[in-house]
A and B are shown apart, each in its own frame.
Chain A
């Protein structure tokens, strides 16, 4: 029996865990960091070390759980070193932490993503401020151990222990003897260090499944890799005392007492080179701000705005956030020099300083700016500024950051990809030996939108007998347990962390999967916990399109415009939007927005700000849309319970729509302070998961009652706040978007050709496909010319024509063509174009590309219709011997190929380019079978509400929004435009196959017209795809259920 003499006084022994692997060692640890902390506290531990494998990703979550609790949290990391064995590095102080981060960074960068490479040399040089626990590899001989021990002692001195762990295996006794022997011969103390992979024994099953997933084998096939029992859990004091000799236990306490590092010590120092020598940051910021103010307010600021500016500057100085603004300012300057369109948004848009520094474009005079939303003294949290850049040129900004601060000082924040139901059920199922299509079938049975029945209940009902087998019960239980487990690190979309000195002093840096992108091991919540600053560099497609629009206007209309000087509040633009003619316009082009425009009838910029914010699940659930519309149309009296409320809600006719309004209401009506109000906002953002909102309920309602508001009004406000949840849109955000929405609408009205050409060149982006944009263009009488090898460029471009500018389609539309190969060919095109197909091949066009051009009917100038040009291009000699270069022997005259019918041409266009300028397939069908009795989309406007109609069209979209329970919106497209068909769940169930698979759908239903918005409520669905097939046309794929 291994010696287990009891301590003198067992009662006061407070255990210590020095080796805990959390689930942030992906697919190895089976418990969350906070679960370890809670279990340790329950057992009266004095110290707990989080030692993930070559990573510190989980320590911040443990830090949050252990804050202000009687438990010392030790930071460390575990490494498996070839030859040497397992090594645990524990941080003793701040320098030790920096050394560990440096080591992890090196180890990670030597291997590709997800792995690491270390050798024993890594542990022989400077980890002087750390302690090392060494578990020698079993195959090491005594001499080798002695040799390593001497070397390790050289660098760690007496902060070096042998780490013995006992898990009731057959060879416990031998290993105990070996450690005793090693300890004597190598002169090293031994510490009792359990290998802990989960906090409770019941997690053994999940731990085995994680091993199965990692090895991509069912659990039953990898039994040798699974521990033979469940002894890798956090043991209680008694269990430890039974397991280990007393002197070894006390050694582990000694180790813990030597570690004095806390994550709170990490201070964030800003990059200092932004401030010119001899000037403090505050002064520099003040100068820049006032310089900007002179440009932004040429005629001087209103007094109210000036007060706000001073207040902001003073608060920024007090909280020492100057560097944060200066860093962003530097980025924005770079973008302006390079002509990259950008726009700051998020809470920053509430700041006058940001407006003066040209970070944001929201004029404080236009919207009621609320500074507390941006920075509040109580919260003492860094501001959160997102900056959108053109999505095609964002990479330039990112490389600028890397080049300016260097890869050692700048990296992207991480995002932790976690298990959701689909991935969890699939991985756990495979580990339990289920087949792929069985799991697919189970996933089918679960409707994730069903709130009141859990996914397990749904599965048990749908799959009888699943929960009767042991394997089935394991599947249900383990899938639930694994939900939320991290799977791997991926990079945040654009969150950059920039440090004064080396970033690796703060956090290890890893390889991201994208080339030359580096990622830190912490995500944005961790950064927020430790008050580290993150700068969001995001991409926005519309900015690219807007830049191209401004360039085209400059070229063709010789009018140099920037976003700022687009004429504001133009009545024509608003009239266009009111008619829901908004295809392609930023933020207001979706089906839901277009059905709201005619009802809201925006006339001013602020109306647009409301329009963008109102069509979102938050306001819809909070039932704020209808009251606002009724009040706007004058159907309902606008009342305010008090003057303060009037001030807050006046601009939105007494209905709270924006998050800022809720905060102001809480401050004004319920007496909340600025900071408390913002905590309410933060609680609103995560109210579903954490449920913190309840504690605010009493406070809010009490506050309002004291100030004389009726209980009914207070509860209504509270209900509206819950409705906001995470979708409540901040006014500042909406205002930034409204700027872009108005600009794109303005260009669409005044320069339609420019508008469509720029949009087409910026695809994939927005809500509509190229074909839908082109149809909308032609409905706005913008002439469009087909692709022609003699004229077309890669991009679409504008050429003057008799009916004004016309769009010449570019080669980019043709599927399969690569820009590189075409650029080379186009470069050799003479002014009058190519002479023959033969010449095309000679300038380097491959046979396959030649066929693709023919299939897209782009060679009609050289070889007539698409069949003939395809036929001739096939005959063109492939390998042309140089000797015969230039001699074009006449291809042997052959019988002409059958002419393509119009249907075949349309089908050919769709196959080659997913776009056709020829007639719409529906026009053909109507002409042939007459589609008698079927109305055109444009004719619906003249029908009476409630009239029974028949309509038909290509299905371009199926949407089942979670807010409308069970209703599906199907968009049909015919030659005259779009139709919105409403399909109730009952109708869908009756006509199941038509509802699911029809490409051409015929609908018999009732017309509903409400304030200019037309819907057809479907009664009968008929699948007309067969008629389409007769034409040989297959419509391109519709975007379903997104």
Chain B
């Protein structure tokens, strides 16, 4: 009886990304590329690209010559792993023993599930149903050992049957290139005439061990199922904090609704698997410069349905104003609690005195509002208004040390948020000019001559002259 099923998702990340995009995006041939052996190779491609003759493993230069309007994006392994874990979380509702085999595979142990789903094919049916919700291309193959099922899946000739003999025949016909062995081992085997997995299995083990070493023997044992290599089965995490990378930057909240819906779907799956409900969600929008806008969604009563969560979140988000484009979205479940909990205790949070700076900042932000508490931030830029800025307090553990420091320059202690036009006569120039012409690679290039000057009240100001006239920009207090 074949105890193992292997789910193979050859284009997992690309399919997932295309699912987040509007349907017309699927028509544009798209592919993901990865640097392998100092060359950019296509690793995943959508249907439109495959129809144009794009093949996996093809060099990116050749691919874009074959199909000029091909969209190429770098493949991110971390993102794909996150998608795989989300997938495992969904399938965990049907299969008790699940093993992740990154980058794009899942192994399911079937024997224990057979009674629950009324037979082998019942399990397979359940899996197919569960995977309907996900628009991913996949292959399902069975095998008397995890490795056997995997090989058939990878080779693209899956066998779904209870009987081990069918799997065995298919396995024996596999060419040695699809054996999953390291390339150098495959070359050696081919040089001695063992060109199919069957031919390899027929040779006596002793001779093989003498010539090819223990690794091959270990491989053969795993293939025939004599030993199951150690596996780390999947356990659902006890807290939920998932993130989705948007393919294109979102400028406003409505554009973020689609991925938010998918995330809340997973929240429901998570709460369902633990039989929990929650009283609050923390939604974070990640921006390009690493900062995040955080929105706390308070729920009147504990809920777990996706619909209700979505409605409440939309209410909260509508009130918020998005400062910068959003690159990624993440949701964390706050205070999950068992469903049958009745009344919650209303203990006020005691004002603990033991706090260091972050504690104080936290309380000030909570009471006055986040944007009210700021810190001094320097940047590598010759334009004064960018060189020193006030920015909302970042709970980063210490400013990321800017490797090169700007050279120590005499600068005023105060900078006006908005330079004010002034009358040149009222000022007496003392030092300068210091000419700053910079930022040509960005839109707002500046061309100014700065002077230290004294006004009628003997106050030292930092004024500049540019094509639009004279302005006061800072004070030497």
Asked if A170 and B65 sit within 8 Å, CB to CB, the answer is: no
Q: Tell me which residues across on chain A come within 8 A of B94, comparing CB atoms.
A: none
Asked if B449 and A875 sit within 8 Å, CB to CB, the answer is: no
Asked if A992 and B66 sit within 8 Å, CB to CB, the answer is: yes
Bound complex: CA of A993 vs CA of B55, how far in Å? 11
Q: Identify which of B66, B192, B199, B410 contacts A874 (C-beta below 8 A).
A: B192
Q: Tell me which residues across on chain A come within 8 A of B60, comparing CB atoms.
A: 437, 440
Asked if A474 and B441 sit within 8 Å, CB to CB, the answer is: yes
Known interface pairs A170-B410, A855-B191. Does A993 touch B382 (Cβ–Cβ under 8 Å)?
no
Q: Identify which of A444, A471, A871 contacts B61 (C-beta below 8 A).
A: A444
The answer to the question of B18 belonging to the interface, with a C-beta cut-off of 8 Å to chain A, is: no
Known interface pairs A444-B64, A996-B65. Does A437 touch B409 (Cβ–Cβ under 8 Å)?
no
Asked if B380 and A908 sit within 8 Å, CB to CB, the answer is: no
Known interface pairs A854-B191, A898-B199, A899-B193. Does A437 touch B449 (Cβ–Cβ under 8 Å)?
no
The answer to the question of B413 belonging to the interface, with a C-beta cut-off of 8 Å to chain A, is: no
Instruction: Name the residue on A nearest B73 (C-beta).
Output: A437
Q: Could you mark each residue 431-465 of chain B with 1 if its beta carbon is under 8 Å from any beta carbon of chain A, else 0?
A: 11111111011110000011000000000000000
A475 to chain B, nearest CB (A): 10
Q: Identify which of A168, A224, A867 contacts B404 (C-beta below 8 A).
A: A224
The answer to the question of B118 belonging to the interface, with a C-beta cut-off of 8 Å to chain A, is: no
The answer to the question of A432 belonging to the interface, with a C-beta cut-off of 8 Å to chain B, is: yes
Q: Identify which of B53, B191, B199, B440 contacts A208 (C-beta below 8 A).
A: B440
Instruction: Name the residue on A nearest B210 (C-beta).
Output: A875
Asked if A205 and B440 sit within 8 Å, CB to CB, the answer is: yes
Instruction: Name the residue on B nearest A202 (C-beta).
Output: B440
B394 to chain A, nearest CB (A): 20
Q: Tell me which residues across on chain B come within 8 A of A432, comparing CB atoms.
A: 441
Interface residues of A in 991-1042 (CB under 8 A from B): 992-993, 996-997, 1032
Q: Tell me which residues across on chain A come within 8 A of B65, comparing CB atoms.
A: 444, 996
The answer to the question of B62 belonging to the interface, with a C-beta cut-off of 8 Å to chain A, is: yes
Interface residues of B in 293-351 (CB under 8 A from A): none
Interface residues in A, total, Cβ within 8 A: 55
The answer to the question of B207 belonging to the interface, with a C-beta cut-off of 8 Å to chain A, is: yes
Bound complex: CA of A636 vs CA of B333, how far in Å? 93
Q: Could you mark each residue 881-917 of chain A with 1 if its beta carbon is under 8 Å from any beta carbon of chain B, else 0?
A: 0000000000000110111100010001000000000
Bound complex: CA of A934 vs CA of B459, how far in Å? 96
The answer to the question of A651 belonging to the interface, with a C-beta cut-off of 8 Å to chain B, is: no
Asked if B191 and A230 sit within 8 Å, CB to CB, the answer is: no
Bound complex: CA of A870 vs CA of B431, how far in Å? 85
Bound complex: CA of A120 vs CA of B434, how far in Å? 33
Q: Tell me which residues across on chain A come within 8 A of B409, comparing CB atoms.
A: 170-171
Interface residues of B in 6-41 (CB under 8 A from A): 33, 40
A752 to chain B, nearest CB (A): 34
Asked if B441 and A441 sit within 8 Å, CB to CB, the answer is: no
Q: Identify which of A230, A445, A895 contacts B204 (C-beta below 8 A).
A: A895
Asked if B204 and A904 sit within 8 Å, CB to CB, the answer is: no
Bound complex: CA of A870 vs CA of B192, how far in Å? 6
Q: Tell me which residues across on chain A come within 8 A of B182, comparing CB atoms.
A: none
Asked if B191 and A437 sit within 8 Å, CB to CB, the answer is: no
The answer to the question of B188 belonging to the interface, with a C-beta cut-off of 8 Å to chain A, is: yes
Interface residues of A in 518-573 (CB under 8 A from B): none
Bound complex: CA of A895 vs CA of B188, how far in Å? 17
Asked if B407 and A874 sit within 8 Å, CB to CB, the answer is: no
Asked if B449 and A168 sit within 8 Å, CB to CB, the answer is: yes
Known interface pairs A173-B431, A894-B207, A992-B53. Does A867 touch B191 (Cβ–Cβ under 8 Å)?
yes
B422 to chain A, nearest CB (A): 19
B192 to chain A, nearest CB (A): 4
Q: Tell me which residues across on chain B come within 8 A of A997, comparing CB atoms.
A: 62, 66
Bound complex: CA of A996 vs CA of B53, how far in Å? 11
Bound complex: CA of A444 vs CA of B63, how far in Å? 11
The answer to the question of A190 belonging to the interface, with a C-beta cut-off of 8 Å to chain B, is: no
Q: Tell me which residues across on chain B come within 8 A of A173, comparing CB atoms.
A: 431
Interface residues of A in 847-894 (CB under 8 A from B): 851, 854-855, 866-867, 870-871, 874-875, 894
Asked if B193 and A904 sit within 8 Å, CB to CB, the answer is: yes
The answer to the question of B74 belonging to the interface, with a C-beta cut-off of 8 Å to chain A, is: yes
Bound complex: CA of A170 vs CA of B464, how far in Å? 13
Asked if A168 and B191 sit within 8 Å, CB to CB, the answer is: no
Q: Tell me which residues across on chain A come within 8 A of B64, comparing CB atoms.
A: 440-441, 444
Known interface pairs A440-B60, A875-B211. Does A471 touch B380 (Cβ–Cβ under 8 Å)?
no
The answer to the question of B406 belonging to the interface, with a C-beta cut-off of 8 Å to chain A, is: yes
The answer to the question of B217 belonging to the interface, with a C-beta cut-off of 8 Å to chain A, is: no
The answer to the question of B353 belonging to the interface, with a C-beta cut-off of 8 Å to chain A, is: no
Q: Tell me which residues across on chain A come within 8 A of B414, comparing CB atoms.
A: none
Q: Tell me which residues across on chain B come within 8 A of A304, comparing CB atoms.
A: none
Known interface pairs A471-B441, A993-B53, A993-B66. Does A231 touch B405 (Cβ–Cβ under 8 Å)?
no
B427 to chain A, nearest CB (A): 14
Bound complex: CA of A168 vs CA of B436, how far in Å? 8
Asked if B443 and A470 sit within 8 Å, CB to CB, the answer is: yes
The answer to the question of B178 belonging to the interface, with a C-beta cut-off of 8 Å to chain A, is: no
Q: Identify which of A228, A898, A992 contacts B438 (C-beta below 8 A).
A: A228
A891 to chain B, nearest CB (A): 9
Known interface pairs A437-B72, A875-B210. Does A897 touch B40 (Cβ–Cβ under 8 Å)?
no
Instruction: Name the residue on A nearest B72 (C-beta).
Output: A437
Q: Tell me which residues across on chain A come within 8 A of B40, comparing CB atoms.
A: 437, 440
B76 to chain A, nearest CB (A): 14
A654 to chain B, nearest CB (A): 46
Bound complex: CA of A230 vs CA of B449, how far in Å? 12
The answer to the question of B212 belonging to the interface, with a C-beta cut-off of 8 Å to chain A, is: yes
What are the 3 closest A-B residue pairs judged by CB atoms, nearest first? A867-B193, A168-B435, A874-B211
Q: List 12 other contacts, CB 8 Å, given A870-B192, A895-B204, A997-B66.
A: A170-B450, A171-B410, A220-B380, A224-B404, A432-B441, A441-B64, A871-B193, A895-B203, A898-B193, A898-B194, A899-B193, A993-B53
Can you identify 29 A-B contacts, CB atoms within 8 angstroms?
Answer: A170-B434, A204-B437, A205-B441, A223-B381, A223-B382, A224-B380, A225-B404, A226-B438, A228-B436, A228-B438, A229-B435, A229-B436, A230-B437, A432-B441, A437-B72, A440-B40, A470-B442, A866-B191, A867-B193, A874-B188, A875-B210, A895-B203, A895-B204, A897-B193, A897-B194, A898-B193, A898-B199, A904-B193, A993-B53
